[in-house]
Amino acid sequence: MSGGVSSVERAPQLSVVVPCYNEQGVLPELRSRLIAACEEAVGSDFEVIFVDDGSTDRTRVLLREFQSEDSRLVALVLARNHGHQLALSAGLSIVRGEKIFVLDADLQDPPELLKPMLDLMGERYDVVYGQRLSRKQETVFKTRTAHYFYRILNRIVSFDIPADTGDFRLMSRRVVDVLNDMPEAHRFVRGMVSWAGFAQVPFPYDRDERFAGETKYPFRQMLRLALDAITAFSTVPLKFATAIGFVFAAFAGVFGIYTVSAYFAGHTVEGWATLSVLILLLGGVQLIVLGVFGEYIGRLYMQSKGRPLYIIESIYRSAPKKVSRALNEAETPETFDEQA
């Protein structure tokens, strides 16, 4: 028999995923508070995966420094800016923990809520999602549009997506495995988690103001995320476009009968202004309908290419500890750069 000793990689109890884009001003405070929260919750049995989403400031440099100073930290560097949802997906693809905690880097979602969220999860729930009671220093326009967006979205999808939520949540391993198996390119992660099912429970909290830097979700990004959410989980816009087409077709038919009747009755048909308005109206509706169809077709086209969702440039982390099956001895980790 061989005298060798087999070993297996020891998975941490908790993994934390933090997407980062130009967050050099907040990273030192984030690291301090997040590590303290993790140590309070699970001791040292955790890993924190910081995802650099193509930052143009010193974010990458800081993350590499953090990793060299603490073997529990991982720096995942994307080749370019892919956007928040894909950066989050990249981080989720390499987690090793049994429970996965997700939060943004801006500290609007307090990392100190980790322990009470873990307590709430227990063995009963697979997802504990943060549900915002208030949002400090956010404009009325942003809060109201978000409020109505979630309520409209829930009316046009076939399952419930909790209102007033973001990606701040705690998930079990099996939920993350389901997410990692989903291949869609235009991702709305909070909707994907809801679609996956399992036992889920809200965790109400008050959202803080951003610690430093600028928001990464201006109106244009919010609109894009809303379009991704709607087209990813509902075909109602297509049905609505079809309904509009039938309505205006019926209207055009009635107007056509009236015009022909007036012609044979010998009446002079007046109203070029009215006719011009109708032509412009019908043309505008046609363009809107084509635009709706174009959104879906464009997404199908991008998905059909089969390109990877994101490109990982490199991963900086310590070599994973391995536990000996025979002697239960852990190997000493070494820092290495895993090139993608």
- Determine what percent of the chain is predicted with pLDDT higher than 70: 63
Lookup: tokens for 206: 């008050």
Lookup: tokens for 119: 């307590």
Angle in degrees, 0-180, between the axes of helices 236-264 and 272-304, rounded to the nearest 10? 150
Q: What is the spatial distance between Cα 150 and Cα 154, in angstroms, rounded to a whole number?
A: 6
CB 198 within 8 A of CB 169: no
Q: What is the side-by-side order of every strand in the sheet holding 200-207?
A: 200-207, 127-135, 165-172, 99-102, 14-20, 46-52, 73-78, 312-318, 335-339
Q: Give pLDDT, residue 271.
A: 62
Tens of pLDDT, residue by residue over 57-113, are 899 999 998 988 888 999 999 988 888 889 999 999 999 999 999 999 888 889 999
Q: Give pLDDT, residue 3.
A: 43
Lookup: tokens for 174: 């099996």
Cα-Cα-Cα-Cα dihedral sign, residues 236, 241, 245, 251:
positive
Q: Give pLDDT, residue 112.
A: 92
Which residues have CB under 8 Å from 17's CB, separation 6+?
A: 49, 51, 88, 91, 92, 95, 100, 101, 102
Q: Give pLDDT, residue 235.
A: 61
pTM: 0.70
Task: Say yes or no to pLDDT of 7 above 70.
Answer: no
- Which residue blocks in the chain are alpha helix, DSSP H? 27-42, 59-69, 84-92, 114-121, 140-156, 173-180, 189-196, 219-233, 236-264, 272-304
Residue 51 pairs in a beta bridge with 19, 76
Task: Say yes or no to pLDDT of 246 above 90.
Answer: no
Q: What does the pLDDT average to over 181-202?
A: 84
Task: Say yes or no to pLDDT of 21 above 50.
Answer: yes
Q: What does the pLDDT average to over 283-297?
A: 72
Q: Give pLDDT, residue 331.
A: 39
Q: Give pLDDT, residue 132.
A: 83
Lookup: tokens for 158: 């076939």
Tens of pLDDT, residue by residue over 125-182, are 999 988 887 766 666 666 677 666 667 766 766 677 777 788 898 999 999 999 888 8
